[in-house]
Amino acid sequence: MTDTTYDHIHKKFRHIAFLPDNERIEFIDTPRWIGYSRANQILDVMQDLMNKVKQHRMPNLLLIGDSNNGKTTIIQDFAQRFGESYIDEDLIIPVCLIQAPPSANEKDLYISLIDSFALPYRASDSAGTLRNQVVHTLRETHVKILIIDEVHSMLTGTARQQRLIMNAIKYLCNALQLPIVLSGTKDAVRILHTDPQHASRFDVAELPVWQNDKEFKKLIGSFERILPLKEPSNLTERSILNLIYSISGGNIGNVKRLINECAIDAIKSGEEHITKKMIEDKSWLRPTQGLRKIIG
C-alpha cells in the first residue's frame, strides 16, 4: 500500500478500500459527518450561544428546514463535539439534547429531560414537581446549552397547550440563564408565534434545500472522497451531477442515501465505481408528494 494508491479517496479513508467487501459496505452504512459551509456556520452560532455569559435574557435559536435535510445531523454532531461529560468535583454535562415529546404536553417535556439524565421520576408527580427536578438537575450538572429536536411535533397540541409548553421552555431559559436551541421543520416557526415574547427571544436559522451550484458540486465531491471504491466515479461530472440533483431534489438526506446505495451496488457488482445507470436505476428515490414506491 502506498500513499498514492486510491488517491481518489481521502487519505484518511484510503485504507478502507483494502478491506473485504462486507466491511467496506458496513463502512458506507455507518453514519458519518460531512461538513459544509452552512452547517459550519450553524455550528459556530451554537458554540457562541453555549459560551455566552449568563444574563437575564439569554439569546436562543430555532433551526428549521425540510425533513431529512440535515438538522438532526448538525445538532448531534454539535453534541458529540462539545457535549462530552466529565468530572470536575461535580459531574459536568455541557450539552443536554432531547427529542421533543410527541405532543405539546408540559409534563412530557419534563419527563423527556429527566429521562435524558437516566434519573428516576414518578409519572404521577405534578408538573411543578417535575419542573423542580429538571431545574435542579440542569443546574447541578452545569448544563451550558439545551437543545430540543423535532419541536414541530408539539404543534399537534391545542393553542393553549402550545403556549404552556413554550412558557415552560421560557421558564427554563430564565431560571437557569440557559441558551436554548429548538430544531424542526419550517412549521415549527408557528409555535413561536403563540406569544410575541417567544418570537422575540429566538433567532431563526434555515437549512434550505440545495441549489445545483458550486456548493452542491463541492458537497458531491466530498461524498465521493469518502467512498471506499477502488475506481473513481467522477460524480461531479456535469451530467451525473445533474442526475443526482434531479433525483435527490437538493435534499442532503436523499443525496446521501442515493450515493450510498449506488456505492454498495458498485461493490456487490464488482464494478468498483458508480455508473450513471446505477444512479438512474435509483430514480424511485426521487421525492414525491406521497410515499416512495419501491416495487411495482
Task: Report how far residue 183's alpha carbon sits from residue 147's, in angstroms, rounded to the nearest whole number.
Answer: 8
What is the maximum span of the chain, computed from C-alpha positions, in angstroms?
Answer: 65
| Average pLDDT over all residues of the chain | 92
Name the residue among 154, 113, 145, 107 with its Cα closest to residue 126: 107
- What are the tens digits of pLDDT across the range 30-89? 988 898 999 999 999 999 999 999 998 899 999 999 999 999 999 999 999 999 999 988
pLDDT of 293 > 80? The answer is no
The answer for residues whose C-beta is within 8 angstroms of residue 91's C-beta and 6 or more apart is 85, 140, 141
| Res. 237: pLDDT tops 90 | yes
What stretch of H or E contains 265?
Answer: helix 252-269
Is residue 114 within 8 Å of residue 133, measured between CB atoms?
Answer: yes
Collapse the DSSP code of 286 into the 3-class scheme (helix H, G, I; strand E, B; otherwise coil) and give the result.
coil
Q: What are phi and psi of 19, to 5 degrees?
A: -80, 165
Beta bridge partners of residue 206, listed in sequence order: 64
Q: What is the pLDDT of residue 89?
A: 84
> Which grid coordinates belong to 68?
431529512
Report the candidate in 51, 216, 113, 182 with the shortest Cα–Cα distance to residue 191: 182
Instruction: Please compute the mean of the pLDDT values over residues 192-202 and round it to a whole number.
Output: 83
Torsions phi, psi for 220 (to 5 deg): -65, -40
The SS3 call for residue 33 is coil
Placement of cell 471506499 in the chain = 228
Mean pLDDT along residues 20-28: 97
pLDDT surpasses 50 at 289:
no
Report how far residue 190's alpha carbon sits from residue 171's, in angstroms, rounded to the nearest whole number: 19
Residue in 112, 43, 50, 119 with CA at minimum distance from that of residue 77 = 43
**Annotation: CATH topology of 37-207:** Rossmann fold (3.40.50)
